[in-house]
Structure 1
Amino acid sequence: MDTASELSRLLGPLRRAVLRATRSAEGLPDLPEAQIELLRALAEGPLSPRAAAQRLGVATSTISNLVKTMKAAGLVNRESAPDDLRTVVLTPSPSALELLDRYDRISSAVLAQAIDQMPAGSRDALEASLPVLAQLVSTLDSSGESPDPRWNARTWESGLGGR
Protein backbone atom coordinates (compact mmCIF):
# COMPACT_ATOMS: atom_id res chain seq x y z
CA MET A 1 0.00 0.00 0.00
CA ASP A 2 1.34 3.46 -0.84
CA THR A 3 1.88 6.23 1.74
CA ALA A 4 -1.14 8.31 0.69
CA SER A 5 -3.51 5.35 0.87
CA GLU A 6 -2.18 4.18 4.22
CA LEU A 7 -2.35 7.69 5.73
CA SER A 8 -5.87 8.18 4.39
CA ARG A 9 -6.91 4.83 5.86
CA LEU A 10 -5.47 5.66 9.31
CA LEU A 11 -6.66 9.27 9.79
CA GLY A 12 -10.32 8.54 10.52
CA PRO A 13 -9.67 5.72 12.99
CA LEU A 14 -6.99 7.83 14.71
CA ARG A 15 -9.37 10.79 15.16
CA ARG A 16 -12.13 8.53 16.44
CA ALA A 17 -9.77 6.68 18.83
CA VAL A 18 -8.53 9.97 20.31
CA LEU A 19 -12.11 11.22 20.77
CA ARG A 20 -13.26 7.94 22.35
CA ALA A 21 -10.31 7.83 24.74
CA THR A 22 -10.78 11.50 25.63
CA ARG A 23 -14.50 11.11 26.32
CA SER A 24 -14.10 7.98 28.40
CA ALA A 25 -11.19 9.37 30.44
CA GLU A 26 -13.35 12.16 31.87
CA GLY A 27 -16.90 11.15 31.09
CA LEU A 28 -17.17 14.03 28.63
CA PRO A 29 -20.31 14.39 26.50
CA ASP A 30 -20.38 12.76 23.11
CA LEU A 31 -19.80 15.85 20.96
CA PRO A 32 -19.34 15.00 17.30
CA GLU A 33 -16.01 15.99 15.81
CA ALA A 34 -17.76 18.51 13.55
CA GLN A 35 -19.12 20.37 16.58
CA ILE A 36 -15.71 20.41 18.21
CA GLU A 37 -14.14 21.81 15.03
CA LEU A 38 -16.77 24.54 14.82
CA LEU A 39 -16.23 25.43 18.48
CA ARG A 40 -12.47 25.66 17.86
CA ALA A 41 -13.06 28.07 15.00
CA LEU A 42 -15.50 30.19 17.02
CA ALA A 43 -13.14 30.26 20.01
CA GLU A 44 -10.78 32.33 17.84
CA GLY A 45 -13.46 35.00 17.44
CA PRO A 46 -17.01 35.55 16.18
CA LEU A 47 -17.76 34.32 12.67
CA SER A 48 -20.66 34.56 10.31
CA PRO A 49 -22.05 31.21 9.21
CA ARG A 50 -20.51 31.77 5.79
CA ALA A 51 -17.08 32.58 7.24
CA ALA A 52 -17.29 29.52 9.50
CA ALA A 53 -18.12 27.34 6.48
CA GLN A 54 -15.16 28.76 4.56
CA ARG A 55 -12.81 28.32 7.51
CA LEU A 56 -13.82 24.67 7.95
CA GLY A 57 -14.12 23.92 4.24
CA VAL A 58 -17.74 22.80 4.35
CA ALA A 59 -21.01 24.00 2.87
CA THR A 60 -22.90 26.82 4.61
CA SER A 61 -25.88 24.50 5.02
CA THR A 62 -23.67 22.19 7.07
CA ILE A 63 -22.89 25.05 9.44
CA SER A 64 -26.59 25.95 9.65
CA ASN A 65 -27.46 22.38 10.65
CA LEU A 66 -24.67 22.27 13.21
CA VAL A 67 -25.69 25.63 14.67
CA LYS A 68 -29.32 24.50 15.12
CA THR A 69 -28.20 21.48 17.13
CA MET A 70 -25.51 23.35 19.04
CA LYS A 71 -27.77 26.31 19.84
CA ALA A 72 -30.38 23.94 21.28
CA ALA A 73 -27.63 22.36 23.42
CA GLY A 74 -26.49 25.78 24.67
CA LEU A 75 -23.12 25.60 22.93
CA VAL A 76 -23.45 28.39 20.35
CA ASN A 77 -24.90 31.87 20.46
CA ARG A 78 -26.36 33.38 17.30
CA GLU A 79 -26.47 37.19 17.44
CA SER A 80 -26.72 40.20 15.19
CA ALA A 81 -23.39 41.74 14.25
CA PRO A 82 -22.80 44.99 16.14
CA ASP A 83 -22.03 46.92 12.93
CA ASP A 84 -24.77 45.41 10.73
CA LEU A 85 -28.00 44.15 12.30
CA ARG A 86 -28.78 42.19 9.11
CA THR A 87 -25.70 40.03 9.60
CA VAL A 88 -25.56 37.14 12.03
CA VAL A 89 -22.44 36.16 13.95
CA LEU A 90 -21.80 32.96 15.83
CA THR A 91 -19.99 32.81 19.16
CA PRO A 92 -19.34 29.94 21.54
CA SER A 93 -21.18 29.99 24.85
CA PRO A 94 -19.09 30.18 28.04
CA SER A 95 -20.02 26.56 28.82
CA ALA A 96 -18.87 25.52 25.33
CA LEU A 97 -15.51 27.21 25.85
CA GLU A 98 -15.12 25.41 29.17
CA LEU A 99 -16.06 22.10 27.55
CA LEU A 100 -13.60 22.70 24.68
CA ASP A 101 -10.85 23.48 27.20
CA ARG A 102 -11.61 20.20 29.01
CA TYR A 103 -11.55 18.27 25.73
CA ASP A 104 -8.18 19.81 24.84
CA ARG A 105 -6.61 19.17 28.25
CA ILE A 106 -7.85 15.60 28.47
CA SER A 107 -7.03 14.84 24.84
CA SER A 108 -3.45 16.05 25.35
CA ALA A 109 -3.12 13.96 28.51
CA VAL A 110 -4.56 10.84 26.83
CA LEU A 111 -2.25 11.23 23.85
CA ALA A 112 0.78 11.88 26.08
CA GLN A 113 0.02 8.71 28.03
CA ALA A 114 -0.34 6.65 24.84
CA ILE A 115 2.84 8.12 23.36
CA ASP A 116 4.74 7.37 26.57
CA GLN A 117 3.78 3.69 26.16
CA MET A 118 5.38 3.53 22.72
CA PRO A 119 9.01 2.45 22.19
CA ALA A 120 11.51 5.33 22.19
CA GLY A 121 12.19 5.00 18.45
CA SER A 122 8.47 5.27 17.66
CA ARG A 123 8.13 8.34 19.90
CA ASP A 124 11.07 9.96 18.14
CA ALA A 125 9.62 9.14 14.70
CA LEU A 126 6.26 10.55 15.73
CA GLU A 127 7.84 13.77 17.00
CA ALA A 128 9.90 14.11 13.81
CA SER A 129 6.75 13.67 11.69
CA LEU A 130 4.87 16.61 13.26
CA PRO A 131 6.39 19.34 11.04
CA VAL A 132 5.75 17.16 7.98
CA LEU A 133 2.11 16.64 8.99
CA ALA A 134 1.73 20.41 9.54
CA GLN A 135 3.16 20.99 6.06
CA LEU A 136 0.70 18.44 4.63
CA VAL A 137 -2.21 20.27 6.28
CA SER A 138 -0.97 23.56 4.83
CA THR A 139 -0.58 22.05 1.36
CA LEU A 140 -4.08 20.57 1.44
CA ASP A 141 -5.58 23.82 2.77
CA SER A 142 -3.93 25.88 0.05
CA SER A 143 -5.21 23.65 -2.75
CA GLY A 144 -8.00 26.18 -3.24
CA GLU A 145 -10.73 23.60 -3.76
CA SER A 146 -14.28 24.59 -2.90
CA PRO A 147 -16.20 22.36 -0.54
CA ASP A 148 -18.30 19.73 -2.24
CA PRO A 149 -21.93 20.87 -1.93
CA ARG A 150 -22.92 17.27 -1.18
CA TRP A 151 -21.10 17.50 2.16
CA ASN A 152 -23.42 17.91 5.07
CA ALA A 153 -23.24 17.64 8.84
CA ARG A 154 -24.16 13.94 8.80
CA THR A 155 -21.39 12.90 6.39
CA TRP A 156 -18.90 15.23 8.03
CA GLU A 157 -19.69 13.97 11.52
CA SER A 158 -19.38 10.38 10.38
CA GLY A 159 -16.03 11.11 8.77
CA LEU A 160 -17.27 10.25 5.28
CA GLY A 161 -17.29 13.76 3.85
CA GLY A 162 -14.09 15.08 5.40
CA ARG A 163 -11.44 16.83 3.46
Structure 2
Amino acid sequence: MEMPGGTASREVDAVLAAADVLLRVVAGSVAEVEDIVNTPQLRVLVRIHSRGPQNLGGVAAELGVHASNATRICDRLVAAGLIERREDPADRRYVVLELTGKGDDLVNTVLEHRRQAIAGVISRMPAGRRPALAAAMEAFAAAAGGQGTSDGRFTLGSPE
Protein backbone atom coordinates (compact mmCIF):
# COMPACT_ATOMS: atom_id res chain seq x y z
CA MET A 1 0.00 0.00 0.00
CA GLU A 2 1.29 3.43 -0.94
CA MET A 3 1.10 6.28 1.56
CA PRO A 4 0.85 9.97 0.64
CA GLY A 5 3.82 11.11 -1.41
CA GLY A 6 4.38 7.59 -2.78
CA THR A 7 5.88 6.26 0.45
CA ALA A 8 5.35 2.54 0.95
CA SER A 9 3.79 1.46 4.22
CA ARG A 10 6.73 -0.91 4.80
CA GLU A 11 9.05 2.10 4.86
CA VAL A 12 6.79 3.97 7.26
CA ASP A 13 6.45 0.92 9.51
CA ALA A 14 10.23 0.44 9.54
CA VAL A 15 10.82 4.04 10.60
CA LEU A 16 8.11 3.78 13.27
CA ALA A 17 9.77 0.63 14.65
CA ALA A 18 13.17 2.37 14.72
CA ALA A 19 11.60 5.44 16.36
CA ASP A 20 10.20 3.19 19.09
CA VAL A 21 13.71 1.90 19.80
CA LEU A 22 15.10 5.43 19.88
CA LEU A 23 12.35 6.60 22.24
CA ARG A 24 13.23 3.75 24.61
CA VAL A 25 16.86 4.89 24.49
CA VAL A 26 15.81 8.44 25.40
CA ALA A 27 13.53 7.21 28.18
CA GLY A 28 16.33 5.08 29.60
CA SER A 29 18.74 8.01 29.64
CA VAL A 30 16.20 10.24 31.38
CA ALA A 31 15.47 7.51 33.94
CA GLU A 32 19.17 7.47 34.83
CA VAL A 33 18.96 11.04 36.16
CA GLU A 34 15.34 11.30 37.30
CA ASP A 35 16.44 11.17 40.93
CA ILE A 36 18.42 14.38 40.30
CA VAL A 37 16.27 16.36 37.83
CA ASN A 38 12.78 16.16 36.37
CA THR A 39 12.05 16.42 32.65
CA PRO A 40 11.56 20.22 32.47
CA GLN A 41 14.79 20.72 34.40
CA LEU A 42 16.64 18.37 32.06
CA ARG A 43 15.25 20.29 29.09
CA VAL A 44 16.71 23.50 30.53
CA LEU A 45 20.09 21.87 31.09
CA VAL A 46 20.22 20.39 27.58
CA ARG A 47 19.15 23.72 26.05
CA ILE A 48 21.97 25.55 27.83
CA HIS A 49 24.41 22.77 26.94
CA SER A 50 23.50 22.84 23.26
CA ARG A 51 22.90 26.58 22.74
CA GLY A 52 25.11 28.19 25.35
CA PRO A 53 24.12 30.59 28.12
CA GLN A 54 20.42 31.47 28.19
CA ASN A 55 18.15 34.05 29.77
CA LEU A 56 14.94 33.32 31.66
CA GLY A 57 12.77 34.58 28.79
CA GLY A 58 14.28 32.06 26.39
CA VAL A 59 13.89 29.25 28.90
CA ALA A 60 10.24 30.18 29.54
CA ALA A 61 9.50 30.35 25.81
CA GLU A 62 11.16 26.99 25.13
CA LEU A 63 9.27 25.29 27.94
CA GLY A 64 6.03 27.05 27.05
CA VAL A 65 5.58 28.33 30.61
CA HIS A 66 5.19 31.69 32.33
CA ALA A 67 8.42 33.41 33.36
CA SER A 68 7.63 32.78 37.05
CA ASN A 69 7.51 29.02 36.39
CA ALA A 70 10.82 29.19 34.51
CA THR A 71 12.28 31.09 37.45
CA ARG A 72 11.18 28.35 39.89
CA ILE A 73 12.64 25.63 37.67
CA CYS A 74 15.93 27.52 37.42
CA ASP A 75 15.94 28.26 41.17
CA ARG A 76 15.90 24.50 41.78
CA LEU A 77 18.73 23.97 39.31
CA VAL A 78 20.79 26.70 41.01
CA ALA A 79 20.10 25.14 44.43
CA ALA A 80 21.21 21.75 43.07
CA GLY A 81 24.46 23.30 41.80
CA LEU A 82 23.67 22.51 38.15
CA ILE A 83 23.42 26.05 36.80
CA GLU A 84 24.56 29.47 37.94
CA ARG A 85 23.10 32.91 37.40
CA ARG A 86 25.05 36.04 36.55
CA GLU A 87 24.23 39.49 35.24
CA ASP A 88 24.31 39.85 31.48
CA PRO A 89 27.31 42.10 30.81
CA ALA A 90 25.53 43.57 27.77
CA ASP A 91 22.37 44.45 29.70
CA ARG A 92 22.31 44.28 33.49
CA ARG A 93 18.50 43.99 33.49
CA TYR A 94 18.88 40.40 32.29
CA VAL A 95 20.17 37.33 34.05
CA VAL A 96 22.30 34.81 32.19
CA LEU A 97 22.02 31.13 33.06
CA GLU A 98 25.08 28.93 32.58
CA LEU A 99 25.85 25.31 33.34
CA THR A 100 28.19 24.56 36.20
CA GLY A 101 30.69 21.74 35.85
CA LYS A 102 28.22 19.50 37.68
CA GLY A 103 25.44 20.48 35.26
CA ASP A 104 27.65 19.86 32.25
CA ASP A 105 28.62 16.45 33.65
CA LEU A 106 24.97 15.50 34.11
CA VAL A 107 24.05 16.41 30.52
CA ASN A 108 27.12 14.59 29.20
CA THR A 109 26.09 11.51 31.21
CA VAL A 110 22.64 11.56 29.59
CA LEU A 111 24.05 12.05 26.09
CA GLU A 112 26.72 9.37 26.59
CA HIS A 113 24.06 6.92 27.77
CA ARG A 114 22.19 7.56 24.53
CA ARG A 115 25.32 7.14 22.40
CA GLN A 116 26.26 3.89 24.13
CA ALA A 117 22.74 2.45 23.88
CA ILE A 118 22.52 3.26 20.18
CA ALA A 119 26.04 1.90 19.58
CA GLY A 120 24.98 -1.32 21.31
CA VAL A 121 22.03 -1.75 18.97
CA ILE A 122 24.15 -0.97 15.91
CA SER A 123 26.80 -3.46 17.03
CA ARG A 124 24.17 -6.22 16.86
CA MET A 125 23.45 -5.42 13.22
CA PRO A 126 25.35 -7.21 10.46
CA ALA A 127 28.51 -5.18 9.83
CA GLY A 128 27.78 -4.96 6.11
CA ARG A 129 24.44 -3.23 6.75
CA ARG A 130 25.80 -0.49 9.00
CA PRO A 131 27.03 1.88 6.25
CA ALA A 132 23.61 1.71 4.58
CA LEU A 133 21.98 2.52 7.94
CA ALA A 134 24.17 5.59 8.36
CA ALA A 135 23.43 6.79 4.82
CA ALA A 136 19.69 6.19 5.21
CA MET A 137 19.52 7.98 8.57
CA GLU A 138 21.52 10.95 7.21
CA ALA A 139 19.12 11.19 4.26
CA PHE A 140 16.11 10.87 6.58
CA ALA A 141 17.38 13.65 8.87
CA ALA A 142 18.20 15.87 5.89
CA ALA A 143 14.71 15.33 4.41
CA ALA A 144 13.22 16.41 7.74
CA GLY A 145 15.26 19.60 7.73
CA GLY A 146 18.27 18.45 9.73
CA GLN A 147 18.73 18.80 13.48
CA GLY A 148 15.71 18.21 15.70
CA THR A 149 14.92 19.98 18.92
CA SER A 150 17.80 20.89 21.16
CA ASP A 151 15.83 21.28 24.35
CA GLY A 152 16.28 17.74 25.60
CA ARG A 153 12.84 16.39 24.87
CA PHE A 154 13.79 14.44 21.78
CA THR A 155 17.43 15.18 21.15
CA LEU A 156 19.61 12.07 21.22
CA GLY A 157 22.99 13.78 21.09
CA SER A 158 24.75 17.10 20.99
CA PRO A 159 24.16 19.29 17.97
CA GLU A 160 27.17 19.68 15.73
* TM-score, L = length of structure 2: 0.60
Matched, 1:29 2:36: no
* Structure 1 counterpart of 2:158: none
Shift of 1:134: 2.9
Could you tell me how far apart the structure 2 residues matched to 1:49 and 1:95 are? 20
Q: Where does residue 102 of structure 2 map in the other structure?
A: 95
Shift of 1:106: 2.8
* One-letter amino acid of the structure 2 residue matched with residue 73 of structure 1: A
> Larger radius of gyration, structure 1 or 2?
2
- Verify the 8 A CA contact 1:49 1:88 in the aligned structure 2: yes
State whether structure 2 residue 140 is matched by structure 1 residue 133: yes
d(CA) in 2 for partners of 1:53 and 1:121? 46
* From 34, 39, 42, the counterpart of 2:45: 39
Using the TM superposition, give the Cα deviation of residue 10 of structure 1 relative to its aligned residue in structure 2, in angstroms.
Answer: 6.2
Report Cα offsets for 1:91-130 as digits up to 9, x if no partner.
1122010111222223212211111112346534421123
Q: RMSD of the TM alignment (CA)?
A: 3.8
Look up the SS of the partner of 2:53 in the other structure: coil
SS of the equivalent of 1:138 reads: coil
Number of aligned residue pairs:
138
Please name the residue that 2:82 is paired with: 75
Q: CA contact under 8 A between 2:141 and 2:147: conserved in structure 1?
A: no
The offset of 1:39, in angstroms, is 1.9
2:64 is the alignment partner of 1:59:
yes
Task: State how far apart, in whole Å, the 1-side matches of 2:76 and 2:17 are.
Answer: 29
Q: 5+ unaligned residues in a row in structure 2: which ranges?
A: 4-8, 154-160
SS at match of 1:85: strand
Q: Which residue of 2 aligns with 1:106?
A: 113
List gaps (5 residues or longer) in structure 1.
142-155, 158-163
Identical-residue share of aligned pairs (%): 22
With structure 1 as the length reference, what TM-score do the two structures score? 0.59
- Find the counterpart in structure 1 of residue 24 from structure 2: 17
